[in-house]
Amino acid sequence: MTQTTQPVSPLRQRLIDDMRLRKLAPKTQSGYIRAVKKLAFYLRHSPHTATSEELRNFQLHLVNRGASDITLNNTITALKFFFGTTLDRPDAISKMKTVRVSKKLPVVLSRKEAAQLIAAADKPKYRAAFSVAYGAGLRINEVVSLRVCDVDSTRMVLRVEQGKGRKDRYAMLSPVLLDNLRAWWQFAHTRQPMFKGSWLFPGQNPVNHLSTRQLSRACHAAALAADIDKRVSMHTLRHHAVCLIIPSWMLACV
């Protein structure tokens, strides 16, 4: 039995080409395509003929469906690109308006809670990854993308390649975090070789790094195991961006 792939319409291909020309991030491209598909489903006709009134009604439809402020703004941004760049119809989007996003205080863990969460992780790899997010303030995609060579013990920094905004930067590396990473490297090296250019946190297949989805699940599981009554994520850990001293967090690795 052969699999057939659905052909891409010329309009969608042009949108994809426009996004590729501007080297938009893959996640951004997926979001833009999803927004246009959502609009087409609502209109029940090709979106390239949509009027400004139809687009206004589409935004009202999203509001009535309970779409969040962030979802609304992301959808409008995608449609502005589609109508302004791909269709060269910037006036069509004139009646869609972004909304002000309410700012909320982030969930903050106490040092004790952070220590409990890291200690509750069921694998040394996760404990080390949590420590990096907490101690250096790295985002989840920055943590999993680290390579062994990114740990610079001479200058005491972590090299973060293509972080937010596709920018390279350095994060401070504390002596405590360096000791923890060295302990993790020694532990991992007994299981499989970890070379200078290999991932610091390899996945099940060492050719690939640990996935953000897998690390996020591990974080949620650790929060439950630690009985932390807060909405915890990897992003919660990076809010601290301080050095956490956990004298015995690596004891379970031995």
pLDDT digits (tens, 9 = 90+) for 74-121: 999 999 999 999 999 999 999 999 998 877 766 778 888 888 888 998
Q: Residue 8 has what pLDDT?
A: 80
Q: Residue 228 has what pLDDT?
A: 87
Reported pTM: 0.65
Q: Residue 165 has what pLDDT?
A: 62
CATH code for the structural domain at 111-253:
1.10.443.10
* Tens place of pLDDT per residue across the chain (254 aa): 445 556 788 999 999 999 999 999 888 999 999 999 999 999 999 999 999 999 999 999 999 999 999 999 999 999 999 999 999 999 999 999 999 887 776 677 888 888 888 899 889 999 999 999 988 889 999 999 999 999 999 999 999 987 666 678 888 888 989 998 999 988 988 887 777 788 999 988 888 999 999 999 999 999 999 898 888 888 888 766 443 433 333 333 33
Parse the chain into domains and list their residue ranges: 10-93, 111-253
User: CB–CB of 196/148 below 8 Å?
Assistant: yes
CB atoms within 10 A of CB 149: 12
Task: Please name the fold of domain 10-93.
Answer: DNA polymerase; domain 1 (1.10.150)
